[in-house]
């Protein structure tokens, strides 16, 4: 049998006259881990949907397992051993782990009655193959994101997967969970399964890949062995320009009070005796594994988590934050981790999302919104944050991930916060937009804002923050100075304890 699972030659695809793929050639070999990288909108998703039969190509050849297909449909692609695990995992949250893994198989066999003993056996075998143990009777909605990822892999294996395509598989995983996922991928690779790994996290791409293909503006611009690439070259190939991040340097004004000071904050088991301070112009990072208390700290400071005891001071004044409105009143803004469900009204226009926090200021004497002022404010923020859109009246869902994040930032910056909490500020954002967001964060700090950046993206923390607070079991256990550490040391600290 040939070493090739898929060979694509001269693939073209257009939507409404706009070319999404231009003369794309790609070969995927068995037992090999391939990575596909590129900025948002470069054509990665379209290419995956061509391979999986969701989209029909306009031109080009598709050969799978040595057979050429004039047309490719999803069922054909699946029968040829191609499985795609999307970011939503395509699992049924109200069904159990065992049902998600095995019911497709039972249905495909045309059974009228479900053999529940067989369902459990199939699920147990699938999970044993990837050497993980997840309670079979647990509803999928109650398991962690990492376990959902593993359930999706187990389900793919039961459908005789030869190639598993993983779309942003680590975007919501901790460092420890990423390590566990990579172990599973490497074990399956040894059994002959190939992977196509799609990710924005270049450090992970360089760690897991054997072959890398880089896309830009609908074309594959570079293909090679992993040894030919480093972060600098990948960034250049993806963007067409050299992007050099500068570390953030900060000298505190010790004579001025901290913008935010927290002393002995407690909130159930989530936060225990947490103390910290953020000064004007400072970017303080907060990191830790899921469950460490990092997100709960943000929620407590923004009035979304009840605090049992402790004191919060804003510019040396004691404040009580019992609601979101209290936090806003005291000049605190919060950009949440999940911008799609918590940060944006996706169906509403970009402009409405930008002004939603300040609409009261735009009302005239008779209580009507001054549309001219509103349009001027929208134009100001779209311009200053370089939100790439042809029309601010378009729904927010039409934007790329990086531009959606800019809209969430614009919403809070329009309300003039003194303290801004950013939770996972660049999750799912491509490398070019990520760099621009980092520079924006540094610029805001340079203008006197205090920022708390919550992240487990190690390069992001080291390049953006002047101090990093490590949390574990609801406590701050260590303060780390970026110039005195490196990515490997910080990664090791994350998984300790």
Spell out the domains of the chain, with CATH numbers in brackets: 4-239 (3.40.50.300), 260-495 (3.40.50.300)
CB atoms within 10 A of CB 9: 14
Question: Sheet of 450-454: strands edge to edge?
Answer: 332-335, 419-423, 450-454, 283-287, 467-472, 475-480
Measured at the alpha carbon of residue 86, what is the angle toward residues 80 and 92, in degrees to the nearest 5?
Answer: 95
CA–CA distance from 22 to each of 18, 59, 183 (Å)? 10, 10, 35
Measured at the alpha carbon of residue 251, what is the angle toward residues 247 and 257, in degrees to the nearest 5?
Answer: 130
* Tokens matching residue 139: 């509803």
* Distance in angstroms (rounded) separating the CA atoms of residues 189 and 77: 20
Q: What is the pLDDT of residue 243?
A: 67
Location of structure tokens 């009777």: 137
Q: Are 361 and 390 in contact (CB under 8 A)?
A: no
Prediction pTM value? 0.69
Q: Are 109 and 176 in contact (CB under 8 A)?
A: no
* Distance in angstroms (rounded) separating the CA atoms of residues 129 and 313: 53
CB atoms within 10 A of CB 344: 23
Helix 401-413 and helix 371-384, axial crossing angle in degrees, nearest 10: 120
Supply the DSSP symbol for 200: S
Supply the DSSP symbol for 226: G
Strands (E), 188-289: 194-198, 211-216, 219-225, 260-267, 271-278, 283-287
User: What residues contact residue 100 under an 8 Å CB cut-off, 6+ apart?
Assistant: 91, 92, 140, 151, 155
Q: Residue-wise pLDDT tens for the chain (497 aa)?
A: 468 999 999 999 998 777 899 999 999 999 999 999 988 778 898 999 999 999 999 999 999 999 999 999 999 999 999 999 987 778 888 999 999 998 877 666 666 677 888 889 999 999 999 888 899 999 999 988 888 989 999 999 888 899 999 988 887 777 778 888 999 999 999 999 999 999 888 888 999 999 999 999 899 999 999 999 998 899 889 888 776 667 788 887 777 889 999 999 999 999 999 999 999 999 999 998 878 899 999 999 999 999 999 999 999 999 999 998 999 899 998 888 766 556 677 788 888 877 776 656 655 545 556 667 777 777 777 777 677 777 888 888 877 766 777 787 778 777 778 999 998 888 767 777 778 888 888 988 998 999 999 988 888 899 899 999 999 999 999 999 988 888 878 888 877 65
The H or E element that residue 449 is part of is: none
Q: What is the pLDDT of residue 338?
A: 64
Q: Are 303 and 325 in contact (CB under 8 A)?
A: yes
Q: What is the pLDDT of residue 370?
A: 61
* Distance in angstroms (rounded) separating the CA atoms of residues 117 and 88: 28
* Distance in angstroms (rounded) separating the CA atoms of residues 48 and 44: 6
* Distance in angstroms (rounded) separating the CA atoms of residues 434 and 357: 25
Q: What is the pLDDT of residue 339?
A: 60
* Tokens matching residue 494: 């994350």
* Helix, strand, coil percent content, the chain, rounded in steps of 5: 35, 25, 40
């Amino acid at each position: 049998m040939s070493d090739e699972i898929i060979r694509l030659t001269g693939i073209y695809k257009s939507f409404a006259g706009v070319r999404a793929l231009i003369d794309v050639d790609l070969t995927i070999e068995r037992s090999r881990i391939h990575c596909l990288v590129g900025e948002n909108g470069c054509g990665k998703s379209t290419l995956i949907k061509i391979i999986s039969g969701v989209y029909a190509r306009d031109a080009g050849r598709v050969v799978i397992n040595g057979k050429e297909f004039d047309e490719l449909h999803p069922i054909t692609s699946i029968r040829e051993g191609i499985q795609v695990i999307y970011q939503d995992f395509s699992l049924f949250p109200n069904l159990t782990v065992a049902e998600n893994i095995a019911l497709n198989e039972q249905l495909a066999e045309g059974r009228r009655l479900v053999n529940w003993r067989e369902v459990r056996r199939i699920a147990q075998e699938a999970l044993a193959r990837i050497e993980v143990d997840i309670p079979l009777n647990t509803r999928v909605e109650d398991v962690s994101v990492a376990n959902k990822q593993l359930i999706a892999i187990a389900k793919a294996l039961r459908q005789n997967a030869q190639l598993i395509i993983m779309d942003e598989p680590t975007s919501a995983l901790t460092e420890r969970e990423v390590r566990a996922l990579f172990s599973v991928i490497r074990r399956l690779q040894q059994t002959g399964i190939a992977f196509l790994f799609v990710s924005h996290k270049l450090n992970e791409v360089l760690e897991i890949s054997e072959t890398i293909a880089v896309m830009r503006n609908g074309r594959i611009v570079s293909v090679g062995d992993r040894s030919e690439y480093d972060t600098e070259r990948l960034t250049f190939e993806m963007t067409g320009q050299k992007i050099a991040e500068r570390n953030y340097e900060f000298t505190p004004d010790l004579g001025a009070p901290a913008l935010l000071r927290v002393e002995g904050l407690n909130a159930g088991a989530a936060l225990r005796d947490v103390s910290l301070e953020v000064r004007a112009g400072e970017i303080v990072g907060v990191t830790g594994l899921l469950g460490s208390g990092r997100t709960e700290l943000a929620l407590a400071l923004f009035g979304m988590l009840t605090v049992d005891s402790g004191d919060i001071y804003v510019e040396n004044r004691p404040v009580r934050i019992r609601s979101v409105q209290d936090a806003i009143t005291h000049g605190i803004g919060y950009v949440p981790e999940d911008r799609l469900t918590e940060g944006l009204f996706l169906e509403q226009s970009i402009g409405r999302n930008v002004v939603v926090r300040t609409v009261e200021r735009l009302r005239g004497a008779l209580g009507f919104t001054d549309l001219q002022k509103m349009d001027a404010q929208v134009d100001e923020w779209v311009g200053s944050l370089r939100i790439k859109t042809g029309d601010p009246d378009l729904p927010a869902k039409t934007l790329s991930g990086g531009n959606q994040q800019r809209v969430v930032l614009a919403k809070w910056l329009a309300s003039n916060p003194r303290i801004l909490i950013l939770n996972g500020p660049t999750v799912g954002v491509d490398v070019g937009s990520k760099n621009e967001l980092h520079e924006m964060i540094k610029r805001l700090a340079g203008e006197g804002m205090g920022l708390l950046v919550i992240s487990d993206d190690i390069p992001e923390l080291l390049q953006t923050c002047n101090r990093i607070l490590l949390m574990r079991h609801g406590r701050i256990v260590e303060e780390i100075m970026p110039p005195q550490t490196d990515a490997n040391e910080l990664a090791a600290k994350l998984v300790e304890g």
